[in-house]
Amino acid sequence: MIRQRSSVRSRGSSSTTISDPREKVKDCCRKFVAFMCTQVGVGGLIVAYALVGAASFMSIETQEPNPLIEHVVTLRRNCAAELWDVTEQLNLFNSSIWHYEADLVLKRYQDDFAEAIRRGYDGRSPEEVWNFPAALMFCLAVFTMIGYGNMVPRTAWGKGATVIYATFGIPLYILYFMNMGKVLASTFKWLYTWFHECSHRSDEDGGLALEEGPGGLAPRKRIIVPTTACLWVITIYIATGTIMFAEWEKWTYLDSAYFCVTSLCKIGIGDLVPGANILDSQSGKPTKLVINFVYMLLGMGLVAMCYILMREEVRIKMQEIKEDTRLCLEDLSSKFAKCCGTKDSQYYD
C-alpha cells in the first residue's frame, strides 16, 4: 500500500510539473537556447541581428537632417549673393578690381567648401547615405571588427547604439565564426575523404578498411586534409571575389584582390569599399552591398574552416613527430644496451 501511494504521488507530481505553465515556458526557453547554440541557430541569429541593426541605424540616423548639407547650401547662397554685389558695384567702372574681389569671394567659398568635405560632406542626404544595404554593411563592419570607416554614425543616439550593438554583436560573431568553421571543416573533410578514397580505390583493393603490414593487418592510415587544399580553397574564393568586384566597381584586379584580402583578414583599411560611389548610391544600385554582405560572412567562415583544418594537421604532425622521436630513442637505447652488453662479456672472457 505504501509503495502504491508513493507511486501515485510521484505520478501526480510529474503530471503537475508537466501541466505547470511556468515549467512549459522554461522548457521552451531551454529548447530555444539549445537550438540557438547550434550551427543553424547561430547562422540565423547573426543574420537576424544584422537585419535588426540595419533597420535600427536607418531609423536613428535619418531622423535628423545633416547640418553639413544646410551649411553647404548657405555657403552657395552667400557666395552667389556676394558675387552679385561685387558685380553690381564694380563691373562697370573697374574690371581689375572686380576680378580681384570676385577671386576673394570664390577663394573664401572654396576654403569653406573644402572644410565641409573634411567634416564629412559628400553631397548625399541621410536617406541616401543610410539606405538598408549600406546600413547592413555598416552592421557587418561593426560586429566583425572590420571597421571600414566609410560610414560613421553622426548623431549621439547613433554613437551610443553603436557601442551597445558592438558589445553584444562581437561575442555573437565569435560564436558564429567557430560554429560555421566547424560545419565547413567537417563538410570539406568529408568531401576530401570521399574524393581521396575514390581516387585510391583501385590501389586499395576495393577500399578495404584494413591494410596489410609487416605484422599482419593494420588499420588504414588516417586521412588528413592538407594545408595546400585549404590554401587552394581560399585562393579560389579570393579570385572569385576579385573578378566579381572588378566587374562591378570598375576596379583593377589588384585593387579587387587587395580589398578581398584586407576584408577577409579583418584589416579593414577602408580606402576601397563596394557601393561607395556617389552616383551608384543615388541611382539605386544597392544589390552589390547585399552580395558583399553574404560574401564576407561566408568568406570568414571559410577562414575559420582553414584555421581548424590546419590546426588539426599541425596537431597530428606533432604527434607523429613525437612518436617517431620516441621510437628512435628506444631504438638507440636498445642498440646502446646491446653494445654495452657485448663489451662486458668480452671483458669477463
pLDDT band for position 39 (cuts 50, 70, 90): low
- Report angle CA 111, 115, 121 to the nearest 5 degrees: 125
- Report angle CA 239, 138, 157 to the nearest 5 degrees: 170
Q: Which residues in 76-89 are b (16+ Cβ under 10 Å) and which e?
A: eeebeebbeebeee
Q: Residues 150-178: pLDDT tens digits?
A: 788 888 899 999 999 999 999 988 888 88
Annotate 215-254 with DSSP letters as a single string. Answer: TEEEEPPPP---HHHHHHHHHHHHHHHHHHHHHHH---HH
Average pLDDT over residues 60-64: 85
Average pLDDT over residues 9-21: 52
Q: Residues 85-118: pLDDT tens digits?
A: 777 776 666 677 777 878 888 888 888 888 877 7
Q: Over 70: is that where the pLDDT of 11 sits? A: no
Comparing 20-34, 206-220, 229-243, the range with the smallest average pLDDT is: 206-220
Average pLDDT over residues 165-194: 86
pLDDT at site 101: 79
Comparing 59-73, 171-185, 251-265, the range with the smallest average pLDDT is: 59-73
Average pLDDT over residues 29-37: 61
Average pLDDT over residues 10-16: 47
Whole-angstrom distance, CA of residue 191 vs CA of residue 223: 11
pLDDT band for position 18 (cuts 50, 70, 90): very low
| Topology adopted by domain 22-65+124-196+222-330 | Helix Hairpins (1.10.287)
